[in-house]
Amino acid sequence: MTGTIFGLVGAALIGIGLFGMLVRRDALLRILSFNLLGGGVFLVFGAVARRGAGAGFGGDPVPQAIILTGIVVAFAATTLAVALVLRLAAAKDRA
Partner 1 sequence: MILGLVADGLLAAGILALALACVATRRAFASAALFIAYGLLLALAWARLGASDVALTEASIGAGLSGVLLLGGVRRLAGLAEPSPDAETGPLLTVLIGIGCAAVALAIGAAVLLLPDPAPSLAPQVAANLATTDLGNPVTGVLMSFRALDTLLESAVVLLAVVCVWALAPEGGWGGVAGPRQPIVRDGPLALLARVLPPLGIVIAIHILWVGADAPGGKFQAAAVLAAMWLMPWMAGLAPAPRIDARWLRLVLAAGPALFILIGLGGALAEGAFLAYPPGWAKPLILAIEIVLTASIAVALALLVMGPPEPPR
Residues 17-76 that bind partner 1 (CB under 8 A): 17-20, 22-26, 28-29, 31-33, 35-36, 39, 42-44, 46-62, 64-69, 71-76
CA 74 to chain CA mean position, Å: 7
- In this structure, are residues 35 and 17 in contact, taking their beta carbons and an 8 Å threshold? yes
Closest contact distance (angstroms) between CB of 85 and partner 1 is 7
Quick check: 10 and 43 in contact, CB under 8 A? yes
91/24 Cα distance (integer angstroms): 22
Chain positions 1 to 20 lying near partner 1, rule: CB under 8 A, are: 1-20
Least separation in angstroms between CB 46 and partner 1: 5
Site for partner 1 (CB under 8 A): how many residues?
A: 79
CB of 14 to partner 1, least distance (A): 6
Find all residues with CB under 8 Å of 35, minimum gap 6, and list them: 17, 74, 78
